[in-house]
Amino acid sequence: MLIAGSAGTASGGDSGTERGAEPSPWRASRSLIAAGDLLRALGAPVRIAIVLQLLQSDRCVHDLVEALQISQPLISQHLRVLKAAGVVHGDRRGREVLYSLADDHLARIVVDAVAHVEEIR
């Protein structure tokens, strides 16, 4: 699962190893598996739409239902997937839960993916 010569260098970030040294295959494999899991969580069009909505502002489920014209149970199901993947988090406010993006980096991935698709059309 390790991609020779590319692990730990593509992002320019610190992979926990000395510069130029190859990371251990196990560590790189875990990172690649986690990245794949994250991308799968972002892979459904409804989840992409939810992330784009949350990029504008924090929202409750009923706000997302209204904005996306999707049923409440379906929105809740997709929010559970995004929450489990660490893409969103919920903050209980009385009877409602206010959802927000956990990380701006993830929103950037979604925005860039949508922009890329629109460019090639």
Q: 58 and 91 share a domain?
A: yes
Taking the C-alpha atoms of residue 120 and residue 115, their distance in angstroms, rounded to an integer, is 9
Q: 57 and 105 share a domain?
A: yes
| Range 19-28 average pLDDT | 64
pLDDT of residue 19: 58
Q: Quote the number of domains for the chain.
A: 2
Question: Which residues 6+ apart lie within 8 Å of 50 measured at CB?
Answer: 64, 68, 75, 78, 79, 82, 88
Q: 35 and 88 share a domain?
A: no
User: Is a pLDDT exceeding 50 seen at residue 2?
Assistant: no
User: Angle at CA 113, nearest 5°, toward 44 and 71?
Assistant: 30
| Range 12-28 average pLDDT | 57
Q: 36 and 82 share a domain?
A: no
Give the total residue count for the chain: 121
User: Is a pLDDT exceeding 80 seen at residue 9?
Assistant: no
pLDDT band at 30 (very low <50, low <70, confident <90, very high): confident
More confident residue, 88 or 18: 88
Q: 61 and 7 share a domain?
A: no
Domain of 84, in residue numbers? 44-120
* Residues 58-86: tens digit of each pLDDT: 999 999 999 999 999 999 999 999 999 99
Q: 10 and 59 share a domain?
A: no
Question: Which residues 6+ apart lie within 8 Å of 92 measured at CB?
Answer: 98
Q: 60 and 75 share a domain?
A: yes
Q: pTM for this one?
A: 0.75
Query: For residues 38 and 87, is the Cβ–Cβ distance under 8 A?
Result: yes
Q: 22 and 64 share a domain?
A: no
* Residues 35-66: tens digit of each pLDDT: 899 999 999 999 999 999 999 999 999 999 99
pLDDT of residue 50: 97
Look up the CATH number of the domain holding residue 86: 1.10.10.10
Query: For residues 53 and 67, is the Cβ–Cβ distance under 8 A?
Result: yes
Question: Which residues 6+ apart lie within 8 Å of 9 measured at CB?
Answer: 15
